[in-house]
Amino acid sequence: MTPPPTPSLPLLRSTWTTLYTHTLPSLALSYAPTQPHWPVHLDHCFARIIYDAVIGENLAPWPTRLKSPAVAHMSATQLQACITMGEGIASGRVPLVEADERSLALRGKKGKRKMGPEAGGTGRGKRKRGATDGDIRAAMKAEATPRAAAAGLPSPPRTARAVSPDCPGADAGRDARALIASSALSPFRQRVLLALTQVPSGKYTTYAAMADFLGSVPRAVGNAMRNNPFAPAVPCHRVLAADGGIGGFGGEWGGKGSEGEKIRKKRELLRSEGVRFDGRGRVVGEVWRGFV
């Protein structure tokens, strides 16, 4: 009997991307009964848990063993293992809480939920202030946008905190990640744009912060964002200068008291998402650095 053909790398990448950016977050936001608790809701959190198990082999955080973005550098065997574990989480065969605890322990962090029967309940209902997933606090605003409806799943309770429209794991970002990973762009441009999809709505990062994460320099990061073919799903408007200035956008660069039409549009986009500026036009608030 002839064995079935091995799936191609593009197919494995597409299957994995859909699983961790859409299927698992939708199940989490609907509090699907396949897991007694859903300690994480964001796609990059599911990726962190599964990557640490597959790439890090539950011995080390995955970035110590593989260059980011993982989806572009994993072997077919690793991709298949990620898919298998993700499907196991979706079906309940793999306990998500325990997998999350192992991943957090690798990073020297404490777990966010009790693991034993004393935890009780189903994870539904109102959460106490301060008990929210630390990764969610760092990576999203409190705005709620139900995700489950699009997947034909029941909507989460109104008290649950859902994912804001353009934060990691939202519709546009999910589609863009699959397109970026399968595009003909250079590997470095793919890494830059994939990292950019993680920046949540209502937050901003800088060219320098992205360069630190990517092991590059700010100018190279800025150049890689020029002629962004996936805008606005890949939100290059959320990247500002290290000094708090507006930075560049659409081939224009802001500063020195003059702003062109494209820079004004960038500032308007950021303001519409909740980013604030002072009287000098400098951004207010901390730089977002939650890249994984």
**Residues 95, 88: Cα–Cα separation, whole Å:** 8
pLDDT tens, residue by residue, 56-76: 999 999 999 998 888 889 999
Q: Kindly indicate the confidence band of residue 284, based on its pLDDT and cuts at 50, 70 and 90.
A: very high
Residues near 113 by beta carbon (within 8 Å), at least 6 away in sequence: 37, 39, 97, 119
Which phi and psi (to 5°) does residue 185 adopt? Answer: -65, 160
Looking at the chain, the whole-number percentage of residues with pLDDT higher than 90 is: 35
Q: At residue 169, does pLDDT exceed 60?
A: no
pLDDT at 270: 93
**Residues 278, 292: Cα–Cα separation, whole Å:** 30
**Residues 252, 222: Cα–Cα separation, whole Å:** 12
- What distances in angstroms separate CA 122 from CA 29, 125, 158, 163, 244, one per listed residue? 13, 9, 16, 20, 43
Report the range of poorest mean pLDDT among 83-97, 124-138, 166-180, 182-196.
124-138
Is 161 within 8 Å of 141 (Cβ atoms)?
no
Q: List the structure tokens of 13.
A: 């990448």
SS3 label, residue 146: coil
Q: Which residue numbers are catalytic?
A: 236
pLDDT at 256: 62
List, in sequence order, every beta strand (DSSP E) within 121-218.
205-206
SS3 label, residue 254: coil
Q: How confident is the model over 95-116, as a mean pLDDT?
A: 79
> Strand 276-277 vs strand 283-284: parallel, antiparallel, or unpaired?
antiparallel
Is 133 within 8 Å of 29 (Cβ atoms)?
no
Higher pLDDT, 112 or 289: 289
Residues near 31 by beta carbon (within 8 Å), at least 6 away in sequence: 38, 122, 123, 124, 156, 157, 160
> Strand 239-240 vs strand 205-206: parallel, antiparallel, or unpaired?
parallel
Is 211 within 8 Å of 221 (Cβ atoms)?
yes
- The position carrying tokens 């901390």 is 286
Give me the numbers of helices (H) and strands (E) for the chain, helices first please.
12, 6
pLDDT tens, residue by residue, 223-277: 888 878 888 788 999 999 998 888 888 778 776 666 788 888 998 999 999 999 9
Q: List the structure tokens of 5.
A: 């053909």
